[in-house]
Amino acid sequence: MTGFDHSHWLDREPYSMNAAEKSGALTEAMRDLTEWHRDHCAEYGRILDLVAEHTPVEALEDVPFIPVRLFKELDLMSIGKDQVFKMMTSSGTSGQQVSRIYLDKETAALQSKVLARLMGEVLGRKRLPMLVIDSPSVLRNRNAFSARGAGILGFSLFGQDVTYALDDDMKLDIPAVEAFLERHSDQPIFLFGFTFMIWQHFYTPLKAMGKRLPIDKGILLHGGGWKKLQDQAVGNAEFRAAMAECAGIARVVNYYGMVEQTGSIFLECEEGHLHAPIYADVIIRDPSNFQALEAGKTGLIEVMSLIPRSYPGHALLTEDIGRIEGEDDCRCGRRGKYFTVAGRVAKAEVRGCSDTYEKHS
């Protein structure tokens, strides 16, 4: 399977390849994408000339990677400007530089197809009534329409009767939520939001009111960083318990992903592990020499995805710290690597829709 014939990848179940099969197929795809971007993105080609010109790509660890923050410094694209279909930006605090990601129609379509395959694992094939724990104003405010707005729009494709739980002032709109729940009583509900905003604008006011919403059949997908909650000593277990307490939500799924590789998100399983699907992979690198580390060792997270064709974002070194917990043997039954994220490198800029959230945005 190559990096350009996507039909074979999309025909497979997202977690169906064992380590040996995936390594060979994904290495070939990454090699193709590397050469494509070398030939079509002059800046990327010059970087490879400096660091990787003569290095053969025989394994995923050999694929040249670039730091994700490079998309804040340079306009990197492997297409002509007349082919740009959409530009996406990362989330950021006021005054912070943001990444600029240029998509052509092919890359945007592949993002949607891969995300649909992954979301099928969470929601099944049927579109569910969807409650977005955010404000509709995020889609009207051009300054805030970045990763946050794109995330809401992207996941809304998997919902129906999409309803916002917060008003324009980010206050919980109880009448709107209760009317939505009445329309869909006794049905599975898809809830989506960014981790800190769910805590601050959904759980906290419900707790203050002493109110519990009847969403026992809810499936909550959330992401966007944990820093603000970790600062409040709230971890994954506390977050899950809070969702059960305020709304009876038993199924809570965290995800790890970034705008620079939209589509190939890493979903959390029932065992609390983030899983790499067949379309993507994770390598942990030693921050002192960037050598790949074995499972169980903590280091910088590198993410790989076969989606990016319009920009050289197929192998990116993040500023997040994590650890591979295992491969092909998670108790949930999914194949592939599974990992955990421990946080950000010291002094790295905060990122993620939750961690960069400011109430005035």
pLDDT at site 348: 64
Dihedral sign from CA coordinates of 313, 338, 3, 59:
positive
Region of poorest pLDDT, from 91-95, 211-215, 335-339, 351-355: 351-355
- How confident is the model over 230-283, as pLDDT tens digits? 888 888 999 999 999 999 998 999 999 988 998 889 999 999 999 999 999 999
- For the record, the structure tokens of 285 come out as 């690198």
The rounded distance, in Å, linking the Cα atoms of 148 and 133 is 12
- How confident is the model over 43-79, as pLDDT tens digits? 999 999 887 666 788 999 999 999 999 999 999 999 9
- The whole-angstrom distance between residue 259's C-alpha and the CA centroid of its chain comes to 7
Strands 66-67 and 315-327: parallel
Judged against a pLDDT cut of 80, whether residue 157 lies above it is answered with yes
In this structure, what DSSP letter does residue 137 have? G
Local confidence band at 27 (pLDDT 50, 70, 90 cut-offs): very high
The three-state secondary structure class of 188 is coil
Percent of the chain exceeding pLDDT 70 equals 91
- How confident is the model over 158-188, as pLDDT tens digits? 999 999 999 999 999 999 999 999 999 989 9
For tokens 């490079």, the residue is: 70
Radius of gyration, CA atoms only, the chain: 20
The rounded distance, in Å, linking the Cα atoms of 264 and 257 is 7
- How confident is the model over 312-357, as pLDDT tens digits? 999 999 999 999 999 999 999 999 999 999 988 876 666 666 656 6
Determine the average pLDDT of the residues in 2-15.
81
The H or E element that residue 229 is part of is: helix 227-231
Of the candidates 296, 344, 332, 304, which has an alpha carbon nearest to the alpha carbon of residue 63? Answer: 304
- Which positions ≥6 away from 239 have C-beta within 8 Å? 195, 199, 229, 252
- Looking at the DSSP assignment, which residues form a beta bridge with residue 259? none
- For the record, the structure tokens of 337 come out as 């690597």
pLDDT at site 86: 87
The three-state secondary structure class of 124 is coil
Mean pLDDT of the chain: 90
Determine the average pLDDT of the residues in 145-167.
89
- The whole-angstrom distance between residue 267's C-alpha and the CA centroid of its chain comes to 8
In this structure, what DSSP letter does residue 251 have? E
96 within 8 A of 90, measured Cβ to Cβ: no
- For the record, the structure tokens of 208 come out as 């203050």
pLDDT at site 160: 97
The rounded distance, in Å, linking the Cα atoms of 198 and 194 is 6
300 within 8 A of 284, measured Cβ to Cβ: yes
Task: Locate all alpha helices (DSSP H) within 132-184, ordered by sequence.
Answer: 147-156, 174-183
- How confident is the model over 108-140, as pLDDT tens digits? 999 999 999 999 999 998 999 999 999 998 887
